Amino acid sequence: MTLTRPRTPQITIIGSLNIDFVTATPRCPAAGETLTATSLTVSAGGKGGNQAVACGRSSFTSRTTQDVTVNMIGAVGANDPYYSTLLKPALETSGVDTASIEQSEHAQTGSATIIVEEGSGGENRILVVPGANHAGLMGDMGNIVAALRAQERYPDIVVLQGEIPRETTLSLLSYFNSGEKGAKVAFNPAPVFPDGVPLEKLCGTAVLIMNETEVVQMARSIQGLPVGDVVEGDDLRPEELAPQFHERAGVEIVLITLGAKGVYFSTKTGRTGTVAGVKVAKVVDTTAAGDTFVGYFATAVARFLASGKGLEAFDEEIEAAVSRANSAAAMCVQRRGAMQSIPFAYDLE
């Protein structure tokens, strides 16, 4: 009898790359007010980059063994010293292949100014300058597909977020959700596009990961309603919102992260549940917690698909995958920064 060996799982992240300027402060200044802040750090970030690092680090079963191939497709400014000294090393030391990252002559590397309020449990406020994330390669789905085809093979999972152009993201959703390309989409609509995501573009998405704000906005979007701002008091009933994405858009797995309250999960085949939040001694910085969760969960799904099983059989493993991703996010919030705060899988043991 010939045994079939599982192939090496492969993940491609298509998304943003930023340089993060993080200022820690006891509180945010009021209009016209100047405060003395605690510290300023400059580090590698961007939701795409963070999620790529999370995928890479979650695949290190030991300090020297990586069991998942992780590729990043993105763009930075040409000759940007921050790319060569911060972004590229952070990605590569986390096990991420950077060969498909364009160095653009027409735009600067994206940046994010992040204010972390130490007096509010590490909550953050973020201002993003898109730069190369919205130019050149990232504004042309055809070039992105060409970069994918240049890889040794198509990935098991393609991870998308909301920090690259809306039209590029919608085109990629249509391309992969057609079911003909051999890759499943894990979509984290963060931030949710002001014009939303049309129902027909979301249809067939394998994994949809949203927080408490994003799930309300996305539910409005697939109903054809304005996304709008979610205000305190808006109803959040995960058990009522999640089925809308299964029934209306055919999404296979819906995950709703609830902060300290945990994560609600729901599958198209009827498996539902809540994984409780992980208590931590002190929340220092929540910047990359959501990205850590996305990367860890996407890696678990990629491993499962590479074994030859269909996603409908993932019901038996989903709770354990959510729990592990949640534990990784909990470790992340106890550290400062974005990429550097994301744990390696062996750190969780």
Q: Is 287 annotated as a binding residue?
A: yes
218 burial type by CB count under 10 A (0-12 exposed, 13-18 middle, 19+ buried): buried
**pLDDT value of position 279:** 85
Q: Is 262 annotated as a binding residue?
A: yes
Q: Is 19 annotated as a binding residue?
A: yes
Is residue 281 within 8 A of residue 320, CB to CB? The reply is no
Task: State the pairing for strand pair 184-187/65-66.
Answer: unpaired
Phi-psi region of 180 (alpha: psi -120 to 50; beta: other; left: phi over 0): alpha
pTM of the model: 0.91
Determine whether 291 is an active site residue. Answer: yes
**pLDDT value of position 180:** 65
Q: Is 328 annotated as a binding residue?
A: no
Is residue 12 within 8 A of residue 158, CB to CB? The reply is yes
Q: Is 166 annotated as a binding residue?
A: no
Q: pLDDT tens digits for the chain (349 residues)? A: 344 445 899 999 999 999 989 899 999 999 999 999 999 989 899 999 999 999 999 999 999 999 999 999 999 999 899 999 999 999 999 999 999 999 999 999 999 898 989 887 778 888 889 999 999 899 999 999 999 888 877 899 999 999 999 999 999 999 999 876 779 999 999 999 999 999 999 999 999 999 999 999 999 999 888 887 665 545 678 999 999 999 999 999 999 999 889 999 999 999 999 999 888 878 887 778 999 999 999 999 999 999 999 999 999 999 999 999 999 999 998 887 779 899 999 999 8
Q: Is 79 annotated as a binding residue?
A: no
Q: How many residues does the chain have?
A: 349
Q: Is 341 annotated as a binding residue?
A: yes
Q: Which CATH architecture has domain 47-104+130-342?
A: 3-Layer(aba) Sandwich (3.40)
Give me the catalytic one of 234, 291, 315, 347.
291
The residue type found at 97 is D
Q: Is 290 annotated as a binding residue?
A: yes
Dihedral of alpha carbons 154, 156, 162, 167, sign: positive
Within 10 A of 282 (CB to CB), how many other CB atoms are there?
Answer: 8
Question: Domains of the chain: which residue ranges?
Answer: 47-104+130-342
Determine the Cα–Cα distance for residues 27 and 214; give it in Å rounded to an integer.
Answer: 25
**pLDDT value of position 225:** 87
The CA-atom distances, in angstroms, between 30 and each of 34, 184, 232, 283 are 8, 45, 21, 24
Is residue 76 within 8 A of residue 122, CB to CB? The reply is no
Within 10 A of 33 (CB to CB), how many other CB atoms are there?
Answer: 8
**pLDDT value of position 2:** 41
Q: Which of 101, 173, 181, 107 is nearest to 143 (CA)?
A: 101
Helix (H, G, I), strand (E, B) or coil at 273: strand
Q: Is 179 annotated as a binding residue?
A: no
Q: Is 48 annotated as a binding residue?
A: yes
